[in-house]
Structure 1
Amino acid sequence: MTRSEYPWLLPSALADPELPAEGSRPRRTLRDWVVDVAAFLIAVVIAVLTLDALTSGSRESSLELAADVAAGGLACCALWFRRRRPVDLAVALVVVSTFAPLASGALLVALFSLAVHRPFKPVAVVGAAAVGSGVVQPWLRPDPSTSWMSSVLFGTVLVLLVIAWGMVVRSRRQIVVVLRERAHRAEAEAELRAEQAQRLAREAIAREMHDVLAHRLTLLSVHAGALEFRPDAPVPEVARAAGVIRDSAHEALQDLREIIGVLRTPGEGEENRPQPTLVTLEELVAESRQAGMKVTLVNRVADPEAVPAATGRTAYRIAQEALTNARKHAPGAEVTVTLGGRPGEGIAVEVHNPRPTGDVPKVPGSGQGLIGLTERATLAGGRLEHGASGDGGFRVEAWLPWPA
């Protein structure tokens, strides 16, 4: 059982972090009612003991005893307002207890409540007044069995102990409130960190979506453009281009569904298609050849299956993006994809295409693909460089770590 599950067991000062203001009406919890009843009974018991001391061997008149009993009863009943007006009640009981000893118990309870609910300055002022009252009362209403000095010392020590106890309770409650605020702040910071992690994950998925769909959509663009500029092409070529467009659209749709599926149901990837690795690079090259590209694959990796899945997937995406760019910006040029490496040395990926011959169609591009590849390689612990080659073509070179 925790306090947060049962707020009706908390004191009102903890159920509401703000201490009740003077004259306000704090809502009492079940614990507050129990404490208030206990405080009332303690004041009554002290009043009864004081009355017994006054009646035994005292020369008090019946009228004075009746006034004391009335004042003590009213003082005990006034304790029910100690949460609403603790300062006013304590000051009033200081005055009453100076002339009515039976109100001393109620005064002690009021001083304790004042120390719990108010800062040190008003507590010190009222406490000094209570000590002064303890000095005057034995002089006005002396006890035959006790000296004046003993009564003053006993009353002073009792007042100081009650105030010190109340200040300890106040400090503990303030510490609890501070800890609760820190816990709420920590929960809010954790939620912010979770939102930030979710945002970063979505950005990574967006980059993945770009890398995956760019290859498919480029095939659609190239072959649709070929059909547009060669409407008199032979029927077999038109049929082959239409087939490539259909397959590319189907693959793009499948890739999009895969990524959306990850967004909707993270962690349930068993039913999705397997992620590409270095082993599936030959399929990518074959797909590019079917689209009409001239691609040469030089694979010097002895065992592609031994390459870590994350490294192989990154190498695959680099080759895929480079082939996509070559298809867009250097149509008809022969592209060479070279792979090499071993455990402990890393994986080297190079994609090179020479200068294209003839007119090159203007295909729009944002350049975000190579930027995304550079970020992907850096996050994987490697590096990527790209730029023009010496023969007027374009070269993409990357290195990825392969632990031994």
Structure 2
Amino acid sequence: MNVGKYQPPPVSRRGYLWRILVAAAISLTVFIADSSDASTVMLIVDLVAAAICWPLVFWRRRRPAAVALIIGLLAAVSPLSTGPALWAGFSLATTRRWSQYVLVAGACLAASFAYAPIHDPHVFDDIRFRDANGKLLSYWPITLLVVVLLILVVVGLMVLIAAWGGQVGARRELLWTLRDRAERAEAERDLRVAQARSLERERIAREMHDGLAHRISQISMHAGALAFRDGLSATELHQSMEIIQQASHQAMIELRDVLGVLRDTDGGDGTRPLPTSADVAELITFNRAAGMEVIDQIDPMISERLPDQLGRAVYRIVQEGLTNASRHAPGAPVSVTIEGAVGEQVTVTISNPLRIVGSSLPDSGFGLIGLQERVALLGGTLQSGSRFDRYQLQVRLPWSA
């Protein structure tokens, strides 16, 4: 992406070809008209100056003012350099640096008129007037008028070149500006897409941790109980296996939904709706069936009226709290409280007695971190830690979230 200072567009081979042909035609026309009575020395000077000016004109874009000044001064003594001089002057005009253009044009104009009498002392003889007897009359008014007319013609030509070059330069810069804006907009769009993808991946990672970690911890806990407990009855064994089967099934469903989101190119969120506060009761029931003692105090007025986004956050908070309790305090009773005021705030509190023993399931360390990010995005606060002989996780979320 070409973002930065304006640079003129590159010239194609075809563009260089027609420019060279036009400049050569102008140079040859001026040379033929001016070299009929030129001396051998002046022809040599003309050829040497042209040999300098023609290669130098291809450096006009790097140093437009310097190149135009050098070629313009040499063109005062070299008709073959007239084409490159007009070419370099036009290129300088496209930059729209008018102070430089005026200085260069003035210097070249002064050089041309200063060199004319030196080159041909009789340059104005053709406009002298004589009387009937052949006596030479004073001709300075006529000469002055001719000089003024020549100056006006040359200045008019310079003004025409400046106007044309300025218009071309303005058009080029406008096109460059529009192209630059389009490239910037495209780059910003790509950046927004990349950020959106990154945020979506983070969301998927949180959902994966919140859902799968909870299911896998249940599977690990019951599988560990089966491995270390002897003498289980057939009923107890069947119940444990059924819980493992249900948790595995739910984990597979959630994993399939996550993979579906990753494969979805249209930005869909999978085929199964995300859980909300209405699913908290089912979550608690499932954990009770898995052997966890859960004491819930849920205000139905709050849980039934929570917005979907806030309800999903409440569900994930409860899920993370139950997962941590089963991992770090297995067998301990867990208290779940959801309360607040409709339209103002909802408070979720999960607490359990402190236990020294814990599960052998490895802790990812990202549960509370992801939960803190989720709560922060919703404008809420999270507090976790020990209070007396209990561990408590408390989250306050504004209803407007």
| TM-score, structure 1 normalization | 0.72
Aligned with residue 398 of structure 2, among 396, 401, 404: 401
One-letter amino acid of the counterpart of residue 395, structure 2:
A
One-letter amino acid of the counterpart of residue 84, structure 1:
F
Give 3-state SS (helix, strand or coil) of 2:206's partner. helix
Contact 1:339 1:350 in 2 (8 A): yes
Contact 1:299 1:339 in 2 (8 A): yes
Match of 2:246 in 1: 247
One-letter amino acid of the counterpart of residue 112, structure 2:
S
Whole-Å separation in 2 of the counterparts to 1:138 and 1:277: 97
One-letter amino acid of the counterpart of residue 280, structure 1:
D
Residue 376 of structure 2 corresponds to residue 378 of structure 1: yes
Whole-Å separation in 1 of the counterparts to 2:114 and 2:178: 41
Contact 1:111 1:162 in 2 (8 A): no
Give % identity: 36
Residue 12 of structure 2 corresponds to residue 27 of structure 1: yes
Whole-Å separation in 2 of the counterparts to 1:194 and 1:299: 40
Give 3-state SS (helix, strand or coil) of 1:84's partner. helix
Aligned with residue 90 of structure 2, among 107, 112, 118: 112
* CA spacing shift, 1:98–1:214, aligned 2, 3 Å: same
Residue 45 of structure 2 corresponds to residue 84 of structure 1: no
One-letter amino acid of the counterpart of residue 336, structure 2:
V
Contact 1:47 1:103 in 2 (8 A): no
Map 1:62-141 to 2 at 5 A: 64=37, 84=58, 95=74, 98=77, 107-109=85-87, 111-113=89-91, 115-116=93-94, 124=103, 128-137=107-116, 140=120, 141=123
* CA spacing shift, 1:83–1:249, aligned 2, 3 Å: farther
Match of 1:168 in 2: 166
| TM-score, structure 2 normalization | 0.73
Contact 1:340 1:348 in 2 (8 A): yes
The root-mean-square deviation of aligned C-alpha atoms, in Å, is: 4.5
Match of 1:19 in 2: none
Whole-Å separation in 1 of the counterparts to 2:24 and 2:57: 13
One-letter amino acid of the counterpart of residue 152, structure 2:
F
* CA spacing shift, 1:270–1:386, aligned 2, 3 Å: closer
Match of 1:272 in 2: 271
| Runs of 5+ consecutive residues of structure 2 not aligned to the other structure | 1-6, 41-45, 61-65, 128-141
* CA spacing shift, 1:229–1:85, aligned 2, 3 Å: closer
Deviations 1:86-106 (A, max 9, x none): 688986676566576x98677
* CA spacing shift, 1:154–1:138, aligned 2, 3 Å: farther
Give 3-state SS (helix, strand or coil) of 2:274's partner. coil
Match of 2:147 in 1: 149
Once the two structures are overlaid, the 10-residue window that deviates more, 313-322 or 255-264, is 255-264
State the Cα distance separating 1:155 from its structure 2 match.
4.9
Contact 1:293 1:327 in 2 (8 A): yes
Give 3-state SS (helix, strand or coil) of 2:301's partner. coil
Map 1:299-338 to 2 at 5 A: 299-302=298-301, 304-338=303-337
Whole-Å separation in 1 of the counterparts to 2:317 and 2:84: 83
Match of 1:257 in 2: 256
Give 3-state SS (helix, strand or coil) of 2:300's partner. coil
Deviations 1:81-133 (A, max 9, x none): 89636688986676566576x98677545532454489887995576234311
One-letter amino acid of the counterpart of residue 308, structure 2:
A
State the Cα distance separating 1:216 from its structure 2 match.
0.4
